[in-house]
Amino acid sequence: MTEPIKMAYLYEDLMNTYGDSGDVKILRYLLQNQGYDVHVDNVSLNDDFNAKDYDFIFFGGGQDFEQTIVAKDLQRHHETLRDYIEAGKPMLAICGGYQLLGDYYMTSDGTTINGLGILPLHTVFKADSRMVGNTHVKTPWGEIRSFENHSGRTYFDKDSNLKPLGEVLEGYGNNPEDKQEGLHYKQTIGSYSHGPILRNENIADAIAKMIIENYQDRVKTVKE
Ligand code: GLN
């Protein structure tokens, strides 16, 4: 039997708002259509996890309460996720998951939830102005249309040189000021786009391609 493409879905039971699990289903469908076997592991609280066993990692959005629980458990995986991201392997993180890749998430009462601190960005919660509605974003792979619903405003740290996923044509994206949506660092994509985002075929195909390339490298390394 051939080795399957392996995906890790982080905290699917707690972080899965507005259809985000559709992203994993769409990728599985695209990869299976190209003849690959696909195996998805759901990784949740207290589970063992080694990112280097995977060809793709998905981390969806979540409500504040669940996000707080996940943020604590997630610290166990800091090193393995940092090495995975820095090695340029593919990851997609949506909304709450995207926020947790950064330094911190500050709630409206000033409480700070620590993120993974892998990417130089932070999020500040503004309870009185939720960013809800349709989005239209110009990305390097073409335009995408999606849906956002968040109170967290994400900012890249000054002098971080982080690049966004794209330019906001409609909606808010990272925050109401920057006209930027999401993040693109190596092969990690962060985004506020639900719906799921990968109903946009251009970006779904681009991520499927990254996954196949990563899989081929992993399988080659195992055989050598
Ligand atoms: N709770 C976070 C916020 O409101 C994330 C929301 C989400 O993941 N949909 O910013």
Give residue-wise pLDDT tens across range 85-134.
999 999 999 999 999 999 999 987 788 999 999 999 999 998 788 999 99
Residue 136 a catalytic site member: no
> How far apart are alpha carbons 40 and 25 in whole angstroms?
10
Q: Which one of 11, 17, 63 would you pick to mutate in the ligand 1 pocket, going by the greatest count of ligand atoms within 8 A of its CB?
A: 63
Token output for 32 = 């299976």
Spatial separation of the C-alpha atoms in residues 152 and 206, rounded to whole Å: 27
Ligand 1 in reach of 154 Cβ (< 6 A): no
What percentage of the chain's residues is helix, strand, coil (to nearest 5)? Answer: 30, 30, 40
Of the residues 77, 122, 150, 194, only one is catalytic, namely 194
Decide: 149 and 192 in contact? Cβ < 8 Å: no
Per this entry, what is the length of the chain?
A: 224
**Cα of 127 from ligand 1 centre, angstroms:** 11
Q: Which of 77, 95, 122, 150 is catalytic?
A: 95
67 lines ligand 1 (CB under 6 A): yes
User: What is the token pair recorded at 64?
Assistant: 């504040």
Give the span between the Cα atoms of 175 and 131, in whole angstroms.
8
Annotated binding-site ranges for substrate: 130
Per residue in 51-99, pLDDT (tens digit) is 999 999 999 999 888 999 999 999 999 999 999 999 999 999 999 999 9
Kindly report the number of other CB atoms within 10 A of residue 140's CB atom. 11
pLDDT digits over 137-185, tens only?
A: 999 999 999 999 999 999 999 989 899 999 999 999 999 999 999 999 9
Edge-to-edge strand list for the sheet holding 56-59: 38-43, 5-10, 56-59, 91-94, 188-191, 183-185
**pLDDT at res. 150:** 95
Is the peptide bond between 90 and the residue preceding it cis, with omega within 30 degrees of 0? no
C-alpha span between 184 and 190 (Å, rounded): 6
Average pLDDT over residues 200-209: 98
Domains of the chain with CATH codes: 5-223 (3.40.50.880)
Q: Which residues pair with 56 in a beta bridge?
A: 7
Q: What is the predicted pLDDT for the residue at 215?
A: 97
Q: Work out the pLDDT band at 1, boundaries 50, 70, 90.
A: low
Q: Is 95 a catalytic residue?
A: yes
d(CA 108, CA 210): 37
What token pair was written down for 108? 């409206």
Report how far ligand 1's centroid is from the alpha carbon of 151 (Å). 6
pLDDT at 221 over 80: no
What pLDDT does residue 2 have?
Answer: 84
Which of 187, 189, 170 lies closest to 179, judged by CA?
170
